[in-house]
């Protein structure tokens, strides 16, 4: 009797024709017909329960009704209670334990999995990724924050161009700069150079502060995520936490390169020399910590050696973990190489006569600008990759991502570099 009931329930689907004499069968249902309804139903299934982040909320009866109705052939009707009963049986028919507690898992029927849950997936990749709902973190890639990154990059590039033009003019016309020039009104080029010179220390200090803050926040977030992932029963990842570590890794390390660019251009006199060097050492330590700790906070860190995407709709690409490994070597190796070369060009490693050799002098004269240009190129390469990665996340989320929305915080992010622009204009116009 019991087995007969289960057999009937396995075959039963809600719905009858207009006469009420003909019942629907599994074979007549087409769940591939409407991707939008399937995605809507699936998104509710996957939504994390805010009351208990270790579980999902589960099915929405309303979206289930819409999804089921879209799969029915014309001429058939059913009711909410019948559809709810059908979904409940196929999704939640795990026997309740003897202690009457809720089961730890639910055993979906195989036909339900193959037809209803996963059946439309090959036909609806866009809706599937939207249902999964992986989005970017607004604190890292919101529109205002990204504009702030670009503003910092543009300003740093403008400083580099101004100093490069100045050095080229000095090199090409040494006599003009060596002769004492009579007091006369400054030309436009000289005023622009003075504006950049006069505001350089303020810009460098602001860039250092922003970079320390971003790297410090990334270390804190990485440590929290690593601790969470290390637990035996971690919370389910939220939609904006999937890419949080990758975005933090890219954005925080991007912030170091404008600092290095400006540091190469600035003069370091008195106490500022050791202050700037101390900050650079701090930035290096934080960067190394981030590139080694952030990957350990990733959802798929344990699967990093698989060589392919480790979860559906992963926008990081199959080579992400190889890129992370390369970044770790670069963050450790490049600053050390810069330090060794700088010491060599300035001291010659105390080798007699080395400092005065013509080729060493030639390299020493262009070393600071060369370092600045290398940092500028790396800075823009990172920002271009970050922008592309961010856009892929937004496109895959199908409108769920709010990173292109201007909110109070995004407008506030633009204020970071306003004092620098004001200082440049003040020196340019008023002095």
The parts of the chain modelled with pLDDT lower than 70 are: 1-3, 94-107, 174-186, 232-233, 235-236, 310, 431
pLDDT (0 to 100) of residue 398: 79
Report helix, strand or coil for 400. Answer: coil
Contacts of 373 (CB under 8 A, 6+ apart): 160, 164
Listed in sequence order, the DSSP H helices in 294-357 are 320-347
Beta carbons of 237 and 56 less than 8 angstroms apart: no
Separation of alpha carbons 35 and 127, rounded Å: 6
Residue 281, CA atoms < 13 Å, CB-side half-sphere: 6
Strands (DSSP E) along 92-133, which ranges?
A: none
pLDDT (0 to 100) of residue 189: 75
Beta carbons of 26 and 115 less than 8 angstroms apart: yes
pLDDT (0 to 100) of residue 111: 87
Predicted TM-score (pTM) of this structure: 0.85
Contacts of 431 (CB under 8 A, 6+ apart): 194, 198
Q: 85: buried, middle or exposed (CB in 10 Å: 19+, 13-18, 0-12)? A: middle
Separation of alpha carbons 397 and 409, rounded Å: 21
Report helix, strand or coil for 20. Answer: coil
Beta carbons of 73 and 88 less than 8 angstroms apart: no
**What are 283's two structure tokens?**
């930035």
pLDDT (0 to 100) of residue 54: 77
Listed in sequence order, the DSSP H helices in 234-308 are 244-254, 256-265, 271-293
Separation of alpha carbons 128 and 256, rounded Å: 37
Q: Tell me the pLDDT tens digit for each residue of 197-214.
A: 999 999 999 999 999 999
pLDDT (0 to 100) of residue 311: 76
Q: Which candidate, 362, 371, 379, places its Cα nearest to that of 342?
A: 371
pLDDT (0 to 100) of residue 135: 86
Q: 42: buried, middle or exposed (CB in 10 Å: 19+, 13-18, 0-12)? A: buried
- Biggest CA–CA distance in the chain, Å, is 111
pLDDT (0 to 100) of residue 99: 64
pLDDT (0 to 100) of residue 95: 61
Kind and range of the H or E element at 17? strand 16-17
Q: Tell me the pLDDT tens digit for each residue of 148-158.
A: 999 999 999 99
> At residue 18, what are phi and psi to the nearest 5 degrees?
-60, -30
Q: 271: buried, middle or exposed (CB in 10 Å: 19+, 13-18, 0-12)? A: exposed
Separation of alpha carbons 138 and 351, rounded Å: 53
């Amino acid at each position: 009797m019991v087995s007969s009931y289960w057999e009937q329930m396995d075959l039963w689907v809600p719905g009858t024709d207009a006469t009420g004499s003909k019942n629907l069968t599994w074979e007549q249902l087409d769940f591939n017909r409407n991707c939008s309804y399937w995605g809507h139903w699936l998104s509710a299934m996957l939504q994390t329960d805010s009351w208990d982040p270790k579980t999902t909320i589960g099915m929405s009866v309303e979206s289930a009704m819409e999804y089921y109705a879209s799969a029915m052939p014309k001429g058939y009707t059913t009711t909410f209670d019948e559809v709810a009963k059908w979904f409940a049986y196929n999704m939640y028919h795990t026997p309740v334990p003897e202690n009457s507690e809720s089961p730890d898992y639910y055993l979906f029927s195989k036909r339900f999995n193959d037809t209803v849950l996963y059946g439309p997936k090959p036909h609806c990749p866009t809706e599937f990724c939207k249902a999964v709902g992986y989005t970017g973190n607004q604190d890292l890639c919101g529109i205002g924050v990204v504009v702030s990154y670009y503003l910092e990059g543009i300003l740093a590039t403008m400083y580099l161009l101004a100093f490069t033009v100045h050095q080229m003019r000095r090199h090409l016309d040494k006599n003009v700069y060596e002769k004492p020039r009579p007091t006369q009104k400054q030309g436009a080029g000289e005023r622009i150079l003075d504006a950049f010179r006069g505001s350089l220390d303020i810009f460098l200090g602001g860039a250092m502060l922003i970079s320390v803050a971003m790297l410090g926040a990334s270390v804190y977030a990485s440590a929290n995520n690593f601790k969470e992932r290390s637990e035996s029963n971690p919370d389910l990842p939220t939609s904006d936490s999937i890419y949080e570590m990758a975005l933090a890794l890219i954005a925080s390390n991007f912030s170091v390169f404008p600092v290095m660019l400006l540091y190469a251009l600035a003069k370091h006199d008195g106490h500022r020399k050791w202050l700037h060097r101390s900050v650079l050492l701090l930035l290096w330590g934080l960067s190394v910590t981030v590139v080694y700790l952030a990957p350990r906070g990733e959802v798929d860190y344990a699967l990093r050696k698989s060589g392919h995407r480790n979860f559906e709709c992963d926008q990081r690409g199959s080579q992400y973990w190889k890129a992370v490994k390369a970044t770790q070597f670069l963050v450790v190796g490049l600053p050390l190489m810069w330090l060794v070369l700088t010491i060599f060009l300035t001291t010659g490693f105390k080798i007699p006569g080395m400092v005065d050799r013509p080729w060493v002098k030639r390299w020493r004269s262009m070393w600071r600008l060369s370092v600045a240009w290398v940092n500028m190129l790396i800075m823009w390469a990172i920002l271009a990759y970050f922008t592309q990665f961010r856009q892929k996340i937004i496109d895959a989320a199908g409108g769920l991502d709010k990173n292109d929305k201007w909110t109070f915080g995004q407008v506030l992010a633009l204020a970071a570099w306003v004092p620098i622009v004001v200082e440049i204009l003040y020196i340019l116009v008023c002095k």
